[in-house]
Structure 1
């Protein structure tokens, strides 16, 4: 696998445009979670304002994951018709429109806005790894790390600002509306990217199919299982800790550590991955952290909840960043990176959407969390196997994937 040359760099000798590209990518990443997670801390106000039940409210969080799974498969076809920069601008506009529709005091309109929001985020989720490879072929590790950190920071900002903005302005519309304005600001930095040479729609666009690639499937299941793990833990860790005897404050503090602890690993793992011939060491280290965190919850959740949550955070942050790195490292061009990203995120997020429901059903059936946590440990072992296969230095081209 040859290293990218200076001639492959679309910004060589143009540091100002390169800086704009960095800002554009990071601002796009910051918009990919905030508009979704902001509704979590505002659940009671939104339910009261829309006069809906808890199950109806849950659609506002589960529909986007389903959109991620379905729309992701359409992105490679769209990228053969339009340049990825143009699609990114369109996605940002649709994010803004989707959030604005979620401000209307009409539940069907809010659902429509949720569907648009989920579809637009799915579009950008798939496009950005390919754009990282196209914009910064010699710095994919650094840029993937920065992208991953900003993705997590955007989610954290959405949750952190929700209640203060609600208290400051007195209505849940204000913290939600913030996420309709930020995409518009982001577009200002994307407009110059449309003219970047060598990154537009291919002159002879070809359909890239990776469904027969063993490496692509390994990456897909690695992505899916880490998403299953993250969304399951983010949903149920507070209740697991509460039922083990912790106070609501202590359970909330431990849960918050998942995102906080993950940030340095979001940044460092892609940089390390890009410098390695294979990533087996990273796969193993991430597995040990995740497995130990879950095993601790299964064994004695109240003994060291901060330690268990921190280990889970390390595993979640490291696995997400490594999965994003695989999209770039195992592809030879932007089209392959986009196709791999679409395949992995489509199946991955559909799998993730089943996680919280599956664990909740197991808990209701058993009356406790032991069996659900054993399942999580088993799935971590499966994720380890997928990660070891994905870490081989083999591109996702079927006729080369032996």
Structure 2
């Protein structure tokens, strides 16, 4: 069905335009959150927030992911995936604009609004790729996943210079909304080519029974692998500069270290996202990425300011490998774009439920113990468990194999 839709849609933009559009949309799906990390200390002081409250601020978008991820596929089917993604950019622009208001409630509200916009893009962009460009899912998925690191890298490197230039952290974190403004006209041809899809055959069954995915063991392994990846990403994005600063680094240098992690992750993300579409078994990627992350975190824990560059390279490589496979699994483990949206909705609902605890939990644990060592140790334990989830999620199976088997028996 997806290939038929692709062939019948003569207005679909060419691949080179799709790559550029996916890149720009993807660049908007993380800076709205990660721009806070470099200036989180200023926010705590100016707004009178504790570390736990500041952690909650960065977790608000994750709560939006939790509440809305399972609804995003239905929203996308009603409007068409391309139009829904265009709407998400409008929502993001509004959320960034709220940051210009000089009040604490407006700052918290802005995080909720951008969370809604990011949720739609998170769930529907992979589904749009599988629906409209099934033969080019590998390259487009690689660009999409890489953009999730390019955006944070730009945000980590640029937010403090922007704050110094404007003399205001509010203007600095609001100015990243210009990325969404730039993406809006570039995505417009995809919105014009989009139309609500009629669901028939196997897809009809998967949508009429929305609970089937929640009873699937492979889907849960994909989801839990993604959950640990998300918790890692948002906890590291929120607190790594602060951790390194407490271990003796200058705060600007520490912020650049976070940027370095994201930059290093990009080529590994691209390489893995391309490679996994050429092979059937992906345990090598799920396991290899986790091992690299463990080594990087252990190096930060033991080194405490020593050989930081080495540990940042290893940590970035591990996160890149994990992201390359983690964000590809909803495409690799199902057969249609609609099921991709369902699996992405499930993995992001549960995944971000878990990851929302990361920044808040890390901040609260530090407030209670006055130690980052316990936080880093906890992350290492979680990644060790993630290896088990990845062993199942990386196996050569599809979550909809059972449904197809049941349909074959019925006929």
TM-score by length of 2: 0.85
Match of 2:188 in 1: 191
Equivalent residues of 2:34, 2:238 under 8 A apart: no
Residue pairs, 1:281-296, within 5 angstroms = 281-296=284-299
Equivalent residues of 1:296, 1:308 under 8 A apart: yes
Cα 1:17–1:379, aligned 2, differ >3 Å: closer, same or farther?
Answer: same
Instruction: Report the Cα offset of residue 332 of structure 1.
Output: 0.6
Instruction: Report the Cα offset of residue 58 of structure 1.
Output: 4.7
- Whether 2:41 is the aligned partner of 1:38: answer no
Match of 1:122 in 2: 119
- Whether 2:221 is the aligned partner of 1:225: answer no
Match of 1:200 in 2: 196
Match of 2:387 in 1: 384
Rounded Cα–Cα distance in structure 2 between residues aligned with 1:127 and 1:66: 18
- Whether 2:300 is the aligned partner of 1:258: answer no
Rounded Cα–Cα distance in structure 2 between residues aligned with 1:284 and 1:343: 22
Moved more, 31-40 or 170-179: 170-179
Instruction: Report the Cα offset of residue 42 of structure 1.
Output: 4.3
Moved more, 217-226 or 178-187: 178-187
Q: Deviations over 1:265-320 (max 9, x none)?
A: 12111111111111111122212211222333344444432222221111112112
Instruction: Report the Cα offset of residue 7 of structure 1.
Output: 5.6
- Whether 2:47 is the aligned partner of 1:70: answer no
- Whether 2:161 is the aligned partner of 1:143: answer no
Provide the secondary structure at the position in 1 that maps to 2:312: helix
- Whether 2:339 is the aligned partner of 1:336: answer yes
Rounded Cα–Cα distance in structure 2 between residues aligned with 1:245 and 1:42: 18
Equivalent residues of 2:3, 2:134 under 8 A apart: no
Equivalent residues of 2:77, 2:197 under 8 A apart: yes
Cα 1:58–1:290, aligned 2, differ >3 Å: closer, same or farther?
Answer: closer
Instruction: Report the Cα offset of residue 18 of structure 1.
Output: 3.0
Query: Of 295, 310, 324, which aligns to 1:321?
Result: 324
Moved more, 181-190 or 166-175: 166-175
Rounded Cα–Cα distance in structure 2 between residues aligned with 1:290 and 1:191: 38
Provide the secondary structure at the position in 1 that maps to 2:281: coil
Instruction: Report the Cα offset of residue 85 of structure 1.
Output: 1.1
Query: Of 278, 285, 298, which aligns to 2:281?
Result: 278
Q: Deviations over 1:20-79 (max 9, x none)?
A: 32222221111112233334444566678xx62124655432211211221112112223
| CA root-mean-square deviation | 3.0
TM-score by length of 1: 0.87
Equivalent residues of 1:21, 1:189 under 8 A apart: no
Match of 1:164 in 2: 161
Cα 1:383–1:158, aligned 2, differ >3 Å: closer, same or farther?
Answer: same
Equivalent residues of 1:166, 1:175 under 8 A apart: yes
Rounded Cα–Cα distance in structure 1 between residues aligned with 2:56 and 2:249: 29
Match of 2:409 in 1: none
Unaligned stretches of 5+ residues in structure 1: none
Match of 1:131 in 2: 128
Rounded Cα–Cα distance in structure 2 between residues aligned with 1:362 and 1:172: 26
Moved more, 231-240 or 269-278: 231-240
Query: Of 22, 37, 48, which aligns to 1:53?
Result: 48
Equivalent residues of 1:395, 1:401 under 8 A apart: no
Q: Deviations over 1:322-380 (max 9, x none)?
A: 11110111111111100111111111112112123334444455554444433323222
Cα 1:375–1:335, aligned 2, differ >3 Å: closer, same or farther?
Answer: same
- Whether 2:157 is the aligned partner of 1:154: answer no
Matched positions, count: 396
Instruction: Report the Cα offset of residue 245 of structure 1.
Output: 4.9
Rounded Cα–Cα distance in structure 2 between residues aligned with 1:79 and 1:13: 20
Match of 1:304 in 2: 307
Rounded Cα–Cα distance in structure 2 between residues aligned with 1:183 and 1:363: 34
Instruction: Report the Cα offset of residue 126 of structure 1.
Output: 0.6
- Whether 2:76 is the aligned partner of 1:79: answer yes
Rounded Cα–Cα distance in structure 2 between residues aligned with 1:287 and 1:44: 30
Rounded Cα–Cα distance in structure 1 between residues aligned with 2:256 and 2:376: 21
Moved more, 102-111 or 138-147: 102-111
Query: Of 93, 97, 106, which aligns to 1:96?
Result: 93
Provide the secondary structure at the position in 1 that maps to 2:215: coil
